[in-house]
Every structure is written in C-alpha cells, then in structure tokens.
Amino acid sequence: MYISSNTWSIANGISCLIQVVIFFPLVIFFDKGSIIENIDSGIAILQLIIGCLILGIFVSWFSTIWWNKVSRHLPTTLAAQLIVFETISSLTYGYIKDQTFPQPIILMCIGIVLLGVVSSIRVANSIQIRIYQLN
C-alpha cells in the first residue's frame, strides 16, 4: 500500500493539532503563573490562537508538503546535506538571537557534523567518477 508524502503531512498535522487541543488546556490549568499573567485580555488569547494557526498551517504544514515534493527530485546525498544545513542554521540563529557564543564542545560537534557532510560529498563524487570511468 502506497501512502503519499502529502498524506503523511496531513496525518502529521492532524496529530499535532490533536496534541495541542488536548495539552494546551492542561498547560493553562497547571501553569497558571506564567501563561495567565502574561495574557491580559481576550484579544491577546485570540492573537495567540491565530498565531498558532498561522505557524501550524502555513509555516509547518505547507513547508512540509513543499519539502516532500522538492526532496523527491533531489539526490539523497543532497537532501541529507540540506537537513544538516537546516540544523546548523537553526543553531546559528539561536545563538545570534540569544547573543551568546556556543561552548567549545558544541563548536567541536558542529565541526564534526560539517566534516561528515564534506566527507560524504567527496565519497559521493569519487563513486560517481568511478561509475563514469567504468562506462
């Protein structure tokens, strides 16, 4: 049985929606200090709900659908590199936003991940060269 990537995106979005519908009231109930005090009016709650819907539908769901469509046309090695690039970009954005510098161990881990990407590119290129030479 074949399940399309679009179906997986819809299933993932619906399951996340169900989790939010179940757990958001629980969070408000058990953590009254931070959420209730920071939301001072019904308009703020409406803005929060609209913001969550925009992030959930347009940012997450549509981007997943487009990623699935685009990644079908990419070689596996390139798609994997894009996933690593996404992770490194989010780390960079987080450190810039927090105005901090990563600890040396984190820098070393980032370097190892980037070294792995560079190594995979070199291996993929050498395999392609060998296949080309055999033909």
User: pLDDT by residue (tens digit) across 114-125?
Assistant: 898 888 778 777
Q: State in Å, rounded, how far the first CA of the chain is from the last one.
A: 36
Note whether 77 and 123 are within 8 A (CB): no
In the chain, the amino acid numbered 106 is: I
Q: Indicate if the pLDDT at residue 100 is higher than 90.
A: yes
In the chain, the amino acid numbered 81 is: Q
Determine the Cα–Cα distance for residues 82 and 90; give it in Å rounded to an integer: 12
The mean pLDDT value for 55-82 works out to 78
pLDDT of residue 34: 64
Which tokens belong to 113? Answer: 């991940």
* 3-state SS class at 39: coil
Tell me the per-residue pLDDT of 84-96, one tens digit each, with 9 for 90 and over.
Answer: 888 888 899 999 9
